[in-house]
Amino acid sequence: FSTVLSTLASDLPDKPAIPTVTIGSSDTSVAVAWVAPEAHSADIDAYEILLLKSDDTFAEDTTTCDGSTSEIISATACSIPMTTISSLTSLAVDTLIRVKVRAHNSNGWG
């Protein structure tokens, strides 16, 4: 007889809902939060948190909002300093800050 093969059927995680973006209590940071999507039997092991730049491309802040860290994965939230947002996105003052989040598990990005 062959050896027994065990497997767990799983799939890509769903897309997270639109994240909430709020100004921090001291007006020097932006808080980003999201609800963990359905993981489909494979734990979420990372999030990608992207900020819309002035040239309509997206950038990731892996210094203060690294979605691969266990703290951010469990909190489904992070805080990004305004100075980082300004340098990373080149957005003008009083410009709307737009963020998108996607989830990753052992099957790939959802």
Which residues make Cβ contacts (< 8 Å) with residue 88, sequence separation at least 6? 51, 53, 59, 61
Q: In the prediction, which pLDDT does 25 show?
A: 77
Provide the domain limits for residue 57.
20-109
Which among 26, 15, 22, 18 is positioned nearest to 78, based on CA atoms?
Answer: 22
What is the average per-residue pLDDT within 63-84? 96
Domain contains 102: yes
Q: For 15-67, what is each residue's pLDDT tens digit?
A: 999 999 999 877 899 999 999 999 999 999 999 999 999 999 999 999 999 99
Q: In the prediction, which pLDDT does 42 show?
A: 94
Domain contains 14: no
Q: In the prediction, which pLDDT does 1 show?
A: 87
Q: In the prediction, which pLDDT does 100 show?
A: 97
Could you give the percent of the chain with pLDDT greater than 70? 100
Q: CATH number, domain at 102?
A: 2.60.40.10
Q: Are 68 and 56 in contact (CB under 8 A)?
A: no
Domain contains 66: yes
Specify the number of domains making up the chain.
1
Domain contains 6: no
